[in-house]
Structure 1
Amino acid sequence: MNRNSGRRLWRFGLVFLLAATIVAGCGSRQAGQQAPQAVEVKAMAVVQQDTPITYEYVGQVQAKNEVKLQAKVSGNIVAKMVTGGGMVSQGQPLFQIDRRQYEAAVLSAKAQLAQSQATLANSRRDTERYRQLAAQNAIAEQTYDTAESASQQYEAAAAANDANVQKAQADLQDTLIVSPIDGRIDVNDLSLGSFVTAGSTVIATISSIDPVFVQFSINENEYLKMMQLGNGSLPGTWGSNLKLVLSNGTEYPLAGAVEQIDRGMDQNTGTITVKAGFDNPQKTLLPGMFARVIAQGEVRQNAMLIPQRAVQELLGKTLVNVVGDGDKAESRVVKMGPRIGNLWIVEEGLNPGDRVIIEGTTKIQPGAQLKVTMVGLNDLQSSAKQ
């Protein structure tokens, strides 16, 4: 074999080796593509059942009555009979304004009244004498008329002085400030020595505590829906058995009822204000607290329900991953309705019997092969309690 033949043989072997390597690599990649690993997920069949609908609103506790306490007379506070933040009852004395000038005013008014009454009595005696003399033609008729007119003037003066006495006595009584309602007084009440101006200075604020209002708002669409369900009025089941969930997640033990509905829609928010009354014997609810108001609505027949955690929101769309034909992942655009506990009513996009993926959604892509473990509603509720 010559030298050229050896070189050709060596080159041929090298090309054969490279080709075998490439074929082997392609074969391994094709084998990997042909046998993808199935993604393990948990799924639940769409639940279909008659479902009572509840409506939830954000509410705020308000006092049914709230009074800004102001004095009817001016003066310095000389005594306090209440501690800020304490409970007070209607008619309970709270503050005492210096009464000395008002006692003096009563004495002065009574003295003026006594003087005018004495003058009136003397004028009446003179008038009676003049009447008798005029009847005997012993004096001119004009003299009698003048005496009678003077008597009437003294009578009016006496009545005015009597009114002054009553006003002075009322001012004296108003130096003692009493609570106009049952409730709790705030902690920003004035201190001893403070000067109050009649009808201007706020001495304290008193809020009624039992019962209370919880104010919330409903939008126009919900209002119209409720009116349609109630044939022209709000359904009794919606407004008569309201539940309250406090900010710490606990349910208030007493039910409430709608007592007031505003006259019209708020032009800025498009909502109508509603006030519900709740008894508050334990003084748990305080003005300013926030709570969730839950109202019972209609019963949705054969509603389709899925877990809330199965729903995804992306770029303005609501999506649900389902197990499609051949156990392959499929994404569906859905329209959701009201939430019921940890479930959600599906309005459009799913059918009864569809299998909705509730765990493992972050690991799958549409068309991915799935290894599905089915769970039931009881399993879902048990895991939620744990």
Structure 2
Amino acid sequence: MMRRLRLASAFALCIGALAACSDSNSAKAPGGEGGERPPTEVRVVVMKKAAHSLTTTLPGRASAFQTAQIRPRVSGVIKEISFREGSEVKAGDLLYKIEDDTYLAAFAQAQASLRKAEASVPTAKSNLARQERLVGSGATEIALENARVTLLQAEADVAQAKAALQSAEIELKLTEIRAPFEGVTTASSYSVGNVVTANQSDSLMTLRQLDPIYIELTESSVNLLRLREAIKAGRVNRENNETADIRMTLDDGLEYPVVGKLDMSDMAVSQTTGTYSIRAVFDNPDDLILPGMYVRATVNVGTEEGYLIPQLAATRDPNGHLTAKFMTADGKVETRVFDHSQVSGNNWLVASGINDGDKLIVDGFQWIGEGAPVKPVEATVNEKGLVEITAAPDAAPAAQP
């Protein structure tokens, strides 16, 4: 029993000696002196002040550039439907044909009435001329005046007949319902043989023009007031006080290749939502955008002098303020808080709190705390917000033989 206790005590003494040797070697190892962690390698971007565009992303819906509810202007029976449902038609193309027998008869009757009225004019003119020759040889003034009235009545009958003929011709032409503009048709609500009436409440079909197309956007009135205040203070520059261009992202996340323009903006704010409407117009030659589609538009609202902080390198504190981590001159991590920031593409634009040459940590900051030592590797951030290394890290010294 005593022998076993001696062996156990000797084994414990050996383990303690080995642990002490290990701690001593660790204290002497490079980079481990005093228990300090080696600097963490991080990607940094060197800050430089410049003029950058300010952007805002707004939700919106697409709507047709023009919409027409096609209705008949004369009554009758539909004789022909000349378009293919859901197809494109040109301005002036025939859409519907209404039976025109009665309208042809009315037109012929109006033509006959005009010829009859015109036939009485020469007789009235001859009678007036004769009375004028006889006025000094016993003809009375009453007969002369009656001849003048008769001619005037004959000429008025001609004018009335011409108007009736024109009206009959218009109604005859209205039996052909044509497209008022170029667009895409919907399904027809009526078929051949259906009876329609003039100016009925139900439309025959709907015609929509999709190229160009409108995008209805909504913006907060608070943002509008902030923008106007920034413009008045001189922080934001806008050329001609107009929005330069508008870019659009479709519902599937793809960017629409065409740049749109501001068409109009409402001069009133909604009482229910506190927003105001902006309408943009985009070319849509391939009919890629359809009415009712949900989109997001990035609007360029002006330019401002400042520094760009990529969105991937920034966070928000509990108060909603923008925060980012920088590397100090002595190679330590420093967190800065910014009270005011603007959107510029995939970046935040900050006008104060940064100086030229400051190094913003854009990658690797998630695992380092305040005051931690870091080793910088210069990088850039491309338009898509991805970090690209521009300077390779220093190579480790070669081992001495």
Q: Residues 166 and 301 (structure 1 numbering): CA distance in 2 closer, same or farther, change over 3 Å?
A: closer
Q: Which amino acid aligns with 2:89?
A: V
Q: Distance in 2 between matches of 1:55 and 1:233?
A: 17
Deviation, 1:109, is 1.7
Match of 1:198 in 2: 198
Deviation, 1:164, is 0.2
**TM-score normalised over the length of structure 2:** 0.67
Q: Which amino acid aligns with 1:266?
A: V
Question: Structure 2 stretches of 5 or more lacking a match?
Answer: 1-34, 389-401
Query: Is structure 2 residue 320 aligned with structure 1 residue 317?
Result: yes
Deviation, 1:93, is 1.0
Superimposed CA distance per residue, residues 112-162 of structure 1 (whole angstroms, 9 cap, x where no aligned partner): 22333333443333333333333422x322122123212212221221111
Q: Distance in 1 between matches of 2:120 and 2:156?
A: 11
Q: Which amino acid aligns with 2:47?
A: Q
Q: Residues 210 and 222 (structure 1 numbering): CA distance in 2 closer, same or farther, change over 3 Å?
A: same
Contact 1:41-1:357 at 8 Å conserved across structures: no
Contact 1:80-1:94 at 8 Å conserved across structures: yes
Contact 2:331-2:375 at 8 Å conserved across structures: no
Match of 1:84 in 2: 85
Contact 1:98-1:175 at 8 Å conserved across structures: yes
Contact 1:120-1:154 at 8 Å conserved across structures: yes
Q: Which amino acid aligns with 1:209?
A: L
Q: Distance in 2 between matches of 1:200 and 1:305?
A: 61
Match of 1:245 in 2: 249
Q: Which amino acid aligns with 1:48?
A: M
Q: Distance in 2 between matches of 1:225 and 1:203?
A: 52
Match of 2:25 in 1: none
Contact 2:56-2:298 at 8 Å conserved across structures: yes
Q: Distance in 1 between matches of 2:198 and 2:53?
A: 54
Match of 2:226 in 1: 221
Q: Residues 192 and 226 (structure 1 numbering): CA distance in 2 closer, same or farther, change over 3 Å?
A: farther
Give the alignment partner of residue 240 of structure 2, picking from 233, 240, 247.
233
Q: Which amino acid aligns with 1:198?
A: A
Which protein is richer in helix relative to its size? 1
Q: Residues 73 and 280 (structure 1 numbering): CA distance in 2 closer, same or farther, change over 3 Å?
A: same
Contact 2:55-2:302 at 8 Å conserved across structures: no
Match of 1:26 in 2: none
SS of equivalent residue, structure 1 residue 317: coil
Q: Distance in 2 between matches of 1:275 and 1:247?
A: 18
Q: Residues 297 and 153 (structure 1 numbering): CA distance in 2 closer, same or farther, change over 3 Å?
A: closer
Q: Which amino acid aligns with 1:206?
A: L
Deviation, 1:348, is 7.0
Deviation, 1:252, is 1.9
SS of equivalent residue, structure 1 residue 208: strand
Percent of aligned positions with the same letter in both sequences? 24
Q: Distance in 1 between matches of 2:280 and 2:324?
A: 41
Deviation, 1:297, is 5.0
Q: Residues 300 and 110 (structure 1 numbering): CA distance in 2 closer, same or farther, change over 3 Å?
A: closer
Please provide the CA RMSD for this pair: 4.2
Deviation, 1:106, is 0.9
Q: Which amino acid aligns with 2:251?
A: S
Match of 1:28 in 2: none
Q: Residues 320 and 266 (structure 1 numbering): CA distance in 2 closer, same or farther, change over 3 Å?
A: closer
Q: Residues 154 and 307 (structure 1 numbering): CA distance in 2 closer, same or farther, change over 3 Å?
A: closer
Give the alignment partner of residue 264 of structure 1, picking from 264, 267, 275.
267
Q: Distance in 2 between matches of 1:371 and 1:221?
A: 39
Superimposed CA distance per residue, residues 234-287 of structure 1 (whole angstroms, 9 cap, x where no aligned partner): 25xx42x432222222222222333x3336233535555443332222222223
Contact 2:42-2:363 at 8 Å conserved across structures: yes
Deviation, 1:87, is 0.6
**TM-score normalised over the length of structure 1:** 0.70
Deviation, 1:349, is 7.5
Match of 1:109 in 2: 110
Q: Distance in 1 between matches of 2:40 and 2:316?
A: 16
Query: Is structure 2 residue 296 aligned with structure 1 residue 292?
Result: yes
Contact 2:308-2:350 at 8 Å conserved across structures: yes
Q: Which amino acid aligns with 1:61?
A: A
Deviation, 1:376, is 6.2
Q: Residues 174 and 223 (structure 1 numbering): CA distance in 2 closer, same or farther, change over 3 Å?
A: farther
Contact 1:220-1:271 at 8 Å conserved across structures: no
SS of equivalent residue, structure 2 residue 241: coil
Q: Distance in 1 between matches of 2:42 and 2:339?
A: 19
Q: Distance in 2 between matches of 1:296 and 1:46?
A: 25
Query: Is structure 2 residue 147 aligned with structure 1 residue 142?
Result: no
Q: Distance in 2 between matches of 1:308 and 1:257?
A: 29
Q: Distance in 1 between matches of 2:259 and 2:324?
A: 39
Aligned pairs for 1:299-310 within 5 A? 299-303=303-307, 305-308=309-312, 310=314
Deviation, 1:174, is 1.1
Q: Distance in 1 between matches of 2:266 and 2:311?
A: 39
Superimposed CA distance per residue, residues 298-342 of structure 1 (whole angstroms, 9 cap, x where no aligned partner): 55545151544751454x534748699999999876435234555
**Number of residue pairs matched by the alignment:** 340
Question: Structure 1 stretches of 5 or more lacking a match?
Answer: 1-35
Q: Residues 216 and 174 (structure 1 numbering): CA distance in 2 closer, same or farther, change over 3 Å?
A: same
